[in-house]
Amino acid sequence: MSNPPIPVITIDGPTASGKGTVAQRVAQHLGFHYLDSGALYRLTALSVMRRANGNPIPLDDEHALAKAAEHLHCHFSGAHIFLANEDVSNDIRAEAVGNLASKIAAIPTVRQALYGLQLSFRQHPGLVADGRDMGTVIFPHAGLKVFLTASVEARALRRYKQLIDKGFSANMEDLSKDLTERDARDSNRSSAPLKAAEGAYLLDTSAMTADQAVAQVLEWYAAAKALHAQSE
């Protein structure tokens, strides 16, 4: 008798839409594993920026960038993210790292280098994965797909509060501009552009609390699980 498939919930959306917070809480509620796919690109960016001798890998050297992604030594422990044995949970949230990560993520060879690593997070009893192409590329057969978004204004305010809480300086006007540019870059890239997966539930959290968004995703998952049970 074959083992039952490992359930996957994908939560995609643009930067600062709240998908990470929602995905973490949903995973915690269900006892599932959690994948912050964006962190992998930020870890790659941080690794590139910290390159020996202070000479970052240039963006036009796709082979070297892909190699850096392929040889990431990272692991996750709860809300903490480690590069080698260093906790870089705060370091990867710096705006400079995020901007470089967005540019690196547009390179097909880098995305391919991280493909297998992302798939490896699918383990029993289940996985909640957040990112930009979780439901379209990495886990296209996920049992529940959600595309979570919010207005640029709401997202800029959330990002501002996150940065201030972590001790970084921030400017609302600059954040709004950066978010708009990232949205355009992520949506228009040739490889795995940001878009809602086929069959995904759309969730605009502009006027929602994190608790309300989590409750909605859990409600959808319960319904999808019940429907699947009826079809067996």
The annotation status of 136 as a binding-site residue, yes or no, is: no
Q: How far apart are CA 7 and CA 4, in angstroms?
A: 9
Query: Is the CA virtual torsion 98, 161, 205, 214 positive or negative?
Result: positive
Q: How far apart are CA 95 and CA 101, in angstroms?
A: 10
The annotation status of 18 as a binding-site residue, yes or no, is: yes
Side chain identity, residue 50: R
The annotation status of 143 as a binding-site residue, yes or no, is: no
Phi and psi based region of residue 94 (left: phi greater than 0; alpha: psi -120 to 50; beta: remaining):
beta
Are the CB atoms for 35 and 42 separated by under 8 Å?
no
DSSP string, 174-204: HHHHHHHHHHHHHHH-SSS-S-PPTTPEEEE
Q: Side by side, which strands form the sheet with 8-12?
A: 33-36, 127-131, 8-12, 144-149, 201-204
The annotation status of 44 as a binding-site residue, yes or no, is: no
- What's the chain's length in residues? 232
The annotation status of 205 as a binding-site residue, yes or no, is: no
Distance of CA 178 to the CA centre of its chain: 17
The annotation status of 19 as a binding-site residue, yes or no, is: yes
The annotation status of 10 as a binding-site residue, yes or no, is: no
The CA–CA distances, whole Å, from 167 to 11, 42, 202 equal: 28, 18, 33
Residues belonging to the binding site for ATP are 13-21
- Positions at the binding site: 13-21
